[in-house]
Structure 1
Amino acid sequence: MEIDRELVDVLTRAGAGSVNHHGSTLLAHLSGTARLLDLWNCPPHVCKAGLWHSFYSWVADPTERSRAAVRAAIGDEAEVLIYLFCHTAPEDLVCAQHDGDELLLKCGATVVRVSADTYAQLLLIDRANAEEMLQRETFAPSHREVLRARCAVVMRLLEDIERSRQPGCPYHEQLHSGQEPALSPTPTTDSDGTEPVAEFVLRIWRLHPNGVRVSRADPTLGGLAPESARQFCGPYIHANGAGFYVYSPIDVDLSLDPDRPFPWEWNILGEGYTDEDVAVVKSMRIQHPRFERDFIKRRPKLFLSGDDTEPKHTAQLWTGCIFETPPGWSLLVRSPINRGLDAPFRIQESIIESDWLRYDIWLNLEFMKFGVEAQIRRAGEPIAHIIPIPRQSYDRWHVQERMVAPEDEEAQQVFDDWIDYNWEKFHSRADGAREQRTYARRRKRLRDRVRDV
């Protein structure tokens, strides 16, 4: 399909040819997106939507009048795709929730129902949008990695849609036509020698070489977990091993007592962040002179909140690192799970949406015990726990409750499964002794069955 010159002329008259778009023009980007969709044998209305996919962001607001004009120019199907694409945040597009044969898509402030066909077409436009930008040399390596990860996520979603269809579905040819992403995701080799999938990589950008240390969380709590729990308690082990540990960037002794004239007492051992620590930041002064100057001047170590008259109970500790997660993933920041329970402080829990904003994390230490010195060390216990979580886990879920009743077939099945599990766990032995391995055995059987599928 050749690009409709009349549609291109509309964009030209609107000034798309003079709008800068990452080293090129917006018009060139829109035309390139449409050409990729045509190369992938997408239907004509999808290619037209790709050509105008930024129309309601750059050219016109989606009023009733403008939407009617767009429908008259490119057709109803293409206009709906443009409207949805312009009003759906990138992170929401990859987090649509299945509801029967349809999907629930967060579009602006509302949630709309779309068919699997429409959702697949939106994903194809999103993929073409990212791949067109990947073909340029003007993007920084870090931005290109984000685009690669985005393509990988979208391709996986498209493949999931394909698997849910019957053979011969409209997108079977596109997904198996040999059209791979322009630049394949670059896997990162993990510490255990495996190569994680690109969309499951936590990226950390250090602002100085001697800041926080990050390591995988330990299911055994460094060998301190009870032996019986390590062998038989799956929920305990899963929680311990989720995510990553963060260790303090400085050695500091810190205590809080509201009854003292000045509530805080602290002693930073050594130099904290030395001039050598910030050498990396100094090297950025040409590009970011103000940031470099302010950083050296203040040299972040520790911020203590409150004053003599109204002390607060929170200290802030800077990690000195920028954290980045793949599209649709955030970071839950909290105290280490099942560790450091006797510490005089806890980490205030927060969720950082580090996919759309690469973010340096400040740890808020909220003191719960007064007059007790916290000895925080780089080489000591982890100070915080960060866990990647999908965004839909906190903004898409709803609660459904109902009583277990004999006439409710599904509820009866749930009740029967629960009875069977408890019978096997507590009464399977002839002597009535408790069988501790029931959970572990069932978990292994279920996981093996899932792997086989």
Structure 2
Amino acid sequence: MTAEAAIAPAEKPPVRIWKAYKPAPDILKAQKSAAGIMPAGAFQYCEAMRVASGFGWYIYPPKDMSLYFDGRESYFYEDDQWFPVKSTQFGPDFQAEWNEQAPDDLAFLNPPFITELFVPGGIQIWSGYFVETAPGWSLGVRSPVNYDIRSSISHYEGIIETADFKPCPLFINFKIVKTDTEIFLPRDRPLFQMQPILRASYTDGDRELDVVSDMNDPGAPFDWEGLGGIMRKSSERDQRRPGRYAADRRKIA
């Protein structure tokens, strides 16, 4: 039995977080309403959207931030002026706190809170937190699920093997896609979402789809009876209310 297969997820939380930058907003559980953004009809009837939206936690910018991209170079606003984004750390108060706690060989080696990536408009933001996951678990980072995504940035999604690469700075990479416009990232609006993922679910390179090309294949019989319980027949449309799937799933939960 592999280590991943032996995991009992309920034994302990799969994710552990350390808050390094004290002014950073708290990490909050993602909401099934997508923080109130989801349309009321979807929230009432679409359980699939609700479950996806509520999977994981919201991570916020460590502080209010303004960015600007002129098509070639990125800038951030601080102390009443614009600076090119290179690799910038939090202020001297955090640096002093870090040096006081860190061993001598890690003094002044705290992660930058904003970094320029290798593509024009590419930005990395450190949340001010460190994270690790239990053995067999990794961490997915992505745009907030079903949230009103800003049209000015495009997230790069990733899976970090934080059971081994730990404690890992909890960060997100994105690209600024709107030029010559100030882009404001408030600290009270989710910037990205993190989700614990079992490593075995994506590392099995031999796993393939079982695609059946003939629905009448006797070797892989199609469940017509099951489908009949899912499809809304024309004779039942007046009797069956929308949201049956949602109602059934919530009873099980």
For the aligned pair, the TM-score class normalised by the smaller chain equals 0.7 to 0.9
Q: Is 1:304 matched with 2:116?
A: yes
Partner of 1:205: 18
For 2:136 and 2:231, the matched residues in 1 are separated by 38
The Cα of 1:400 is off from its aligned counterpart by 1.0
**Greater strand proportion:** 2
The Cα of 1:234 is off from its aligned counterpart by 0.7
Q: Is 1:355 matched with 2:172?
A: no
TM-score, structure 2 length as denominator? 0.83
- The answer to whether the 8 A contact 2:29-2:58 is kept is yes
For 1:269 and 1:352, the matched residues in 2 are separated by 34
Matches within 5 A, 1:168-207: 197-207=10-20
Which amino acid letter does the alignment assign opposite residue 184 of structure 2? Answer: Q
- The answer to whether the 8 A contact 1:404-1:411 is kept is no
For 1:93 and 1:302, the matched residues in 2 are separated by 38
Partner SS state of residue 28, structure 2: strand
Partner of 1:291: 106
For 1:215 and 1:205, the matched residues in 2 are separated by 14
The Cα of 1:235 is off from its aligned counterpart by 0.7
- The answer to whether the 8 A contact 1:251-1:377 is kept is yes
Of 421, 435, 439, the residue aligned with 2:241 is 435
The Cα of 1:279 is off from its aligned counterpart by 4.7
Partner SS state of residue 423, structure 1: coil
Which amino acid letter does the alignment assign opposite residue 200 of structure 1? Answer: P
Which amino acid letter does the alignment assign opposite residue 436 of structure 1? Answer: P
Which amino acid letter does the alignment assign opposite residue 211 of structure 1? Answer: A
- List per-residue Cα deviations over 1:264-288 (Å, max 9, x = no partner): 2320368x83333345422224xx2
Partner SS state of residue 411, structure 1: coil
Partner of 2:51: 238
- List per-residue Cα deviations over 1:141-160 (Å, max 9, x = no partner): xxxxxxxxxxxx4xx5xxxx
For 2:65 and 2:194, the matched residues in 1 are separated by 21
For 1:304 and 1:438, the matched residues in 2 are separated by 48
Which amino acid letter does the alignment assign opposite residue 403 of structure 1? Answer: S
C-alpha change, 1:324 and 1:198, in structure 2 (3 Å) is farther
Matches within 5 A, 1:324-339: 324-339=132-147
- The answer to whether the 8 A contact 2:124-2:173 is kept is yes
The Cα of 1:263 is off from its aligned counterpart by 2.6
- List per-residue Cα deviations over 1:218-263 (Å, max 9, x = no partner): 11122221112111101100111000110001221112121xxx63
C-alpha change, 1:410 and 1:249, in structure 2 (3 Å) is same
Gaps of 5+ in 2: 81-88
C-alpha change, 1:266 and 1:444, in structure 2 (3 Å) is closer
Matches within 5 A, 1:263-278: 263-268=73-78, 273-278=90-95
Q: Is 1:251 matched with 2:59?
A: no
For 1:268 and 1:427, the matched residues in 2 are separated by 64
- Pick which of 214-223 and 327-336 moved more: 214-223
For 2:98 and 2:11, the matched residues in 1 are separated by 28
- The answer to whether the 8 A contact 1:209-1:280 is kept is no
For 1:209 and 1:316, the matched residues in 2 are separated by 19
Which protein is bigger by CA-based radius of gyration?
A: 1
For 1:350 and 1:334, the matched residues in 2 are separated by 7
The Cα of 1:420 is off from its aligned counterpart by 2.8
Partner SS state of residue 231, structure 2: helix
Q: Is 1:373 matched with 2:170?
A: no
For 1:197 and 1:420, the matched residues in 2 are separated by 33
Number of aligned residues: 243
The Cα of 1:212 is off from its aligned counterpart by 5.2
TM-score, structure 1 length as denominator? 0.49
Partner SS state of residue 281, structure 1: helix
- The answer to whether the 8 A contact 2:143-2:149 is kept is no
Which amino acid letter does the alignment assign opposite residue 221 of structure 2? Answer: A
C-alpha change, 1:442 and 1:293, in structure 2 (3 Å) is closer
- List per-residue Cα deviations over 1:3-62 (Å, max 9, x = no partner): xxxxxxxxxxxxxxxxxxxxxxxxxxxxxxxxxxxxxxxxxxxxxxxxxxxxxxxxxxxx
Partner SS state of residue 283, structure 1: helix
Partner of 1:391: 199
Partner SS state of residue 246, structure 2: helix
Which amino acid letter does the alignment assign opposite residue 327 of structure 1? Answer: P
For 1:409 and 1:443, the matched residues in 2 are separated by 30
Which amino acid letter does the alignment assign opposite residue 256 of structure 1? Answer: F
Partner of 2:84: none
Of 95, 100, 121, the residue aligned with 2:4 is 95
The Cα of 1:93 is off from its aligned counterpart by 2.4
C-alpha change, 1:269 and 1:384, in structure 2 (3 Å) is farther
Partner SS state of residue 194, structure 2: strand
The Cα of 1:410 is off from its aligned counterpart by 4.6
